Structure 1
Amino acid sequence: MNKLLPTSTAGSLPKPSWLAEPEKLWSPWKLEGEALREGKRDALRLSLHEQQHAGIDIVSDGEQTRQHFVTTFIEHLDGVDFSKRETVRIRDRYDASVPTVVGSVARQKSVFVEDAIYLRQLTDQPIKWALPGPMTMIDTLYDAHYKSREKLAWEFAKILNQEAKELEAAGVDIIQFDEPAFNVFFDELNDWGVATLERAIEGLKCETAVHICYGYGIKANTDWKKTLGSEWRQYEEAFPKLQKSKIDMISLECQNSHVPMDLIELIRGKKVMLGAIDVATNTVETPEEVASTLRKALQFVDADKLYPCTNCGMAPLSRELARGKLRALSTGAEIVRQEVLG
């Protein structure tokens, strides 16, 4: 990407109301069979158009073909029984009914590659594709087979690597691994979390990113944030290890958060996808607010390594709100781009 301060989204964008119930996470599909397949493709095309219309530089599928950023990937794997559900505590924060690992996990065929090929045919812009990271995958399941979070994470890392290599071959420019669990399980992160992530990117020539955020704007997450005090320093645990890792880009949440901006200093040398749009509010940022966040970040990261982004996915928001926020991101980035270029 030759453009300075290229904009992108962290992942999901709202789905059209004819495809799934709007403003809801894990929303069930309203279509089925061939109509659903066609509807997902239409939504992907629409999502791309909305990103382009808003001036987003690095586009994605908006996760239109996924019900959930983790489980939709897991659904396609052997060894996981979705009819056998257990309640587990996710991210140490809230209880959810999740599928059970009942045998060896394996991937028989690609999960998102067809969608990526389709998106690649629709645009010449750089494409970013999000996959769940190994640690976040194991945190969204009940494991009755391996009985070891680490063992299961290594298995998932191998599977993710297979998928990532096929996505790269399909023309994806940046593969992003979503690891909100990195903000919670610090011992595991340092023991094997970053190592399994590096296994997932092994042999890739495209750019790789890890997205670590404080979650969607759902009540369980916003309540948790209220307990974190005046400074959110969770990134301090992950950044030193990630700075030494082979990951190219690190995505973090900054807009309306209590993350001290100087923590970016800990990942000096990496590209930084900076969350300059808050996804947990129904207020659309002004371009100047976005610009202000980016200017603060530029004290700690070189302009050629700064990638303005959203804090997290926007699936639970209305489409109109998401549109406004994307436009604010693009316009705010353009203000700072002009300042830097002089």
Structure 2
Amino acid sequence: MTTHILGYPRIGAKRELKKACEQYWSGQIGIDDLLAVGAQIRKENWQLQKEAGIDLIPTNDFSFYDQVLDMSLTIGAIPKRFEEVANATTNPLDLYFAMARGYQKNGLDITAMEMTKWFDTNYHYLVPEFYKNQKFKLSHTKFLDEFKEAKAQGVNAKPVFIGPVSYLLLGKAKETGFEKLDLIDDLLSVYIDIFTELEKQGATWIQIDEPFLVMDLSEKERQIFERVYQTLADKFPALKFILTTYFEGLHKNASWVVKLPVEVLHLDLVRGFEQLDTVLNIVPDTLKLSLGVVDGRNIWKNDLQASKAILENAISKLGVERVLVAPSCSLLHVPFDLDNEPETTSLTSEIKNWLAFAKQKLTEVAVLSALVEEELPEEIQSFYNANKLAMDSKRNSELIHNEIVKVAVGAISEGDSHREASFETRQPLQHDALKLPLLPTTTIGSFPQTKEIRLLRSKLKKGEITEEAYNEAIGQEIEKSISWQEELGIDVLVHGEFERNDMVEYFGEQLSGFAFTKFGWVQSYGSRAVKPPIIYGDVSRPEPMTVAWTAFAQSLTDLPVKGMLTGPITILQWSFVRNDQDRETTANQIALAIREEVNDLERAGIKVIQIDEPAIREGLPLRKEAWKTYLDWAIKAFRISASGVGNQTQIHTHMCYSEFNDIIESIAAMDADVITIETSRSQMELLDAFVNFKYPNEIGPGVYDIHSPRVPNQTEMEFLIEKAAQLVPVKNLWVNPDCGLKTRGWKETNDALVEMVNAAKALRKKLEVVA
């Protein structure tokens, strides 16, 4: 049975790509050094897959920043504002990075492309920008270079591409008077050029990702899919196309998707297991099926016994030659290698025995292929037996279950998810208590995590400094940050989060039921990698997590200091979650833990508490029919976490890089007193959802993009604030960056916040007449 992988992590086992990219951006290394790091990562990835026994190995899945951005560069979909950059550089990567990060040199000041979540994952992609009558052309040959590179290394290469229809659906029309899909014919001609070049170089297999096939599609979209794939089949009768779908099942689309003229159709049987029987009953004799039975988005070992039964069922109907085995989706979403992880008090040998990272999943795919053979080699039988023991261990472990937590969740009442009074009643009480000016300024929570701060945490973990010395140093950083914010003129301060590693990991480390890795990095966007905690058991809060540092910061100033927490849905979404319990139950467990923390902060005199929920939109099911069920329990979990405080305590929440139009009623139902959102990259476009809905509570639309190193000026921010003031009542408007400042440097942070505060002050007198 043929094995293949849809994609592999590209950041390197120890985040080599992150370090190289950041060194290149800062001028510490040159382009040749950066390219060499990329080549080494690709070589190692391909070698791992060959050694594991993978038959078809992906190429063009490597990226220096984002695979969607790669496609935009390949087909010449360059936003018009970057034309001068394109003309000014002979190095395509400089244009590429400018599109991703913005450009502010050589007299040019250009904003980056918009970034948003990749379906319901925590990965971010750069949103393609489209114009009426736009023409595409083959502009970059990365795909071809990497295919040749793989062939030279003896790799049975299978180039991977985002499909043409999904690529257009992922983008945004930047002009009116046309639809994105009107561009399909011109775009398809470039895909034909791409596949022609690959065929000339000896390509046999090509993987085309069309994740939108699991979405709700219009009749027009269906017809375009059918026309595109018939055209490709006619143009390339010798090429074997693997059409991949993932993150959901095909559902009603199955009846026509199975008729598309491709060699192989890939099904995600982790997220869409129920589709298998339907597809097996209607699959044409000419179509092969790739069955994604190994979870590409979570870190638990595969239940080989269960997966073997699935494969045998398909083989009994199709024959072994028509069944391929694969992960459910690209392994981009899981860490690199479990073998790198030491056993710790958190990641015990027992828990580690339940896990599989990308490298281990390669072995699982290969073993599953062997398990359907009549006679098993001894090493395969041994691996299979060990897997069964691991499954039994996980099911029966005492580490997983906490009866006190289960009782607490069962006792949640309707009243636990409602504030004492309505927002209309709370707002004047909060204004009287806080005495803030019009257009109050704040930041989202975190300040730059310098090398010195990271080194401090590292030394504490290694025992090289005492906890007392560490606390003294952190306290000094907080004191400096409070004084600095007062000097800047910011109205609601934060303590800076210098003691925190990651907004989810930090909380997980203080909650029961969580385990942590040392090298379990997963790409979030560009050079940004996160290390998701592992929720393996029932969750509770043994003791306060943030109260001491927040109360200390508040003792240094008469201005309000925000308590900074991560919300239950974001902790859930940005962790690797246990797969033996429904997500709603786990979310409620986390919500009760955060509720205890919120109440303790209020008792400590904290009047403003922010509960970040950037992942609410991300967790939305891909099909609308499942939205209500998810939103009901997700919004309730947030409200459980926030509703234990009095009317005068102001609850903030923060969301970023999400489209809110379809769920704005649910966002309002969260009943946060203030919501801060990302709007700068879209020039306040995302604010339209709140305006059209007449969002009743206070809003802080981000006035500058922290994910770009460029520093916007006061005039630019005044323009965005005034634009927001035309849409939102001024008395409900806050001024803030669009996200936390953890990844930025101190100079650019200071310079940008000076401009932001000056913009707010300049507009207060002008706008108070309409407040």
Residues 16-31 of structure 1: pairs in structure 2 closer than 5 A: 16-20=450-454, 29-31=458-460
Q: Give deviations 1:72-92, integer Å, cap 9, x for gaps.
A: 11101111122598777879x
Q: Give deviations 1:82-124, integer Å, cap 9, x for gaps.
A: 2598777879xx9855332232211111000011110111011
1:9 to 428, 443, 451: 443
Aligned residue number for residue 194 of structure 1 = 635
Aligned residue number for residue 488 of structure 2 = 54
Q: Which amino acid aligns with 2:661?
A: E
User: Residue 198 and residue 89 in structure 1: after superposition, are their counterparts in 2 closer, same or farther (change >3 A)?
Assistant: farther
Which secondary structure state, in structure 2, belongs to the residue aligned with residue 180 of structure 1? Answer: coil
Greater CA deviation, 178-187 or 328-337?
Answer: 178-187
User: Residue 311 and residue 87 in structure 1: after superposition, are their counterparts in 2 closer, same or farther (change >3 A)?
Assistant: closer
**Native 8 Å contact 1:128 1:174 kept in 2:** yes
Which structure carries more relative contact order (alpha carbon 8 Å, separation 6+)? Answer: 1
**Native 8 Å contact 1:240 1:267 kept in 2:** no
Q: Distance in 1 between matches of 2:667 and 2:590?
A: 19
**Native 8 Å contact 2:614 2:656 kept in 1:** yes
Count of residue pairs the alignment pairs up: 317
Q: Which amino acid aligns with 1:330?
A: V
Q: Distance in 1 between matches of 2:550 and 2:669?
A: 30
Q: Distance in 1 between matches of 2:633 and 2:712?
A: 38
1:208 to 651, 669, 675: 651
1:328 to 755, 759, 768: 755
Q: Which amino acid aligns with 2:640?
A: R
User: Residue 101 and residue 85 in structure 1: after superposition, are their counterparts in 2 closer, same or farther (change >3 A)?
Assistant: farther
Q: Distance in 2 between matches of 1:19 and 1:164?
A: 26
Q: Distance in 1 between matches of 2:531 and 2:768?
A: 51
Residues 224-235 of structure 1: pairs in structure 2 closer than 5 A: 234-235=659-660
Q: Which amino acid aligns with 1:244?
A: A
Q: Give deviations 1:28-59, integer Å, cap 9, x for gaps.
A: 54554222111111111111122112111100
**Native 8 Å contact 1:86 1:100 kept in 2:** no
2:717 is aligned with 1:290: yes
2:696 is aligned with 1:262: no
More helix by share: 2
List alignment gaps of at least 5 residues for structure 1: 22-26, 215-232
Q: Distance in 1 between matches of 2:684 and 2:762?
A: 23
Which secondary structure state, in structure 2, belongs to the residue aligned with residue 12 of structure 1? Answer: coil
Greater CA deviation, 325-334 or 45-54?
Answer: 45-54
2:671 to 246, 250, 275: 246
**Native 8 Å contact 1:15 1:319 kept in 2:** no
Which secondary structure state, in structure 1, belongs to the residue aligned with residue 453 of structure 2? Answer: coil
Q: Distance in 2 between matches of 1:85 and 1:67?
A: 14
Q: Which amino acid aligns with 2:644?
A: G
Which secondary structure state, in structure 2, belongs to the residue aligned with residue 59 of structure 1? Answer: coil
Aligned residue number for residue 153 of structure 1 = 587
**Native 8 Å contact 2:441 2:491 kept in 1:** yes
List alignment gaps of at least 5 residues for structure 2: 1-433, 622-626
Q: Quick check: which has more Rg, 1 or 2? A: 2
Aligned residue number for residue 704 of structure 2 = 277
Which secondary structure state, in structure 2, belongs to the residue aligned with residue 295 of structure 1? Answer: helix
- The Cα shift of 1:288 comes to 1.3
User: Residue 194 and residue 85 in structure 1: after superposition, are their counterparts in 2 closer, same or farther (change >3 A)?
Assistant: farther
**Native 8 Å contact 1:209 1:249 kept in 2:** yes
Q: Distance in 2 between matches of 1:138 and 1:30?
A: 29
Q: Which amino acid aligns with 1:141?
A: S
User: Residue 267 and residue 71 in structure 1: after superposition, are their counterparts in 2 closer, same or farther (change >3 A)?
Assistant: farther
* TM-align CA RMSD: 2.4
Aligned residue number for residue 181 of structure 1 = 615
**Native 8 Å contact 2:617 2:659 kept in 1:** yes
Which secondary structure state, in structure 1, belongs to the residue aligned with residue 633 of structure 2? Answer: helix
2:590 is aligned with 1:164: no
User: Residue 84 and residue 339 in structure 1: after superposition, are their counterparts in 2 closer, same or farther (change >3 A)?
Assistant: closer
Q: Which amino acid aligns with 2:706?
A: V
Which secondary structure state, in structure 1, belongs to the residue aligned with residue 534 of structure 2? Answer: strand
Aligned residue number for residue 24 of structure 1 = none
2:469 to 35, 50, 55: 35
Q: Give deviations 1:175-220, integer Å, cap 9, x for gaps.
A: 1111121232224652322111011012212111210012xxxxxx
**Native 8 Å contact 2:504 2:575 kept in 1:** no
TM, length-normalised to structure 2: 0.39
Aligned residue number for residue 230 of structure 1 = none
**Native 8 Å contact 2:513 2:538 kept in 1:** yes
**Native 8 Å contact 2:519 2:531 kept in 1:** yes
Greater CA deviation, 178-187 or 311-320?
Answer: 178-187
**Native 8 Å contact 1:41 1:65 kept in 2:** no
Q: Which amino acid aligns with 2:545?
A: V
User: Residue 36 and residue 114 in structure 1: after superposition, are their counterparts in 2 closer, same or farther (change >3 A)?
Assistant: same
Q: Which amino acid aligns with 2:689?
A: L
Q: Which amino acid aligns with 2:690?
A: I
Q: Which runs of 4+ in 1 moved over 4 A?
A: 83-91, 94-97
TM, length-normalised to structure 1: 0.85
2:502 is aligned with 1:68: yes
2:767 is aligned with 1:340: yes
Greater CA deviation, 256-265 or 294-303?
Answer: 256-265
Q: Give deviations 1:252-294, integer Å, cap 9, x for gaps.
A: 1122325523222125221011211210122211111111111
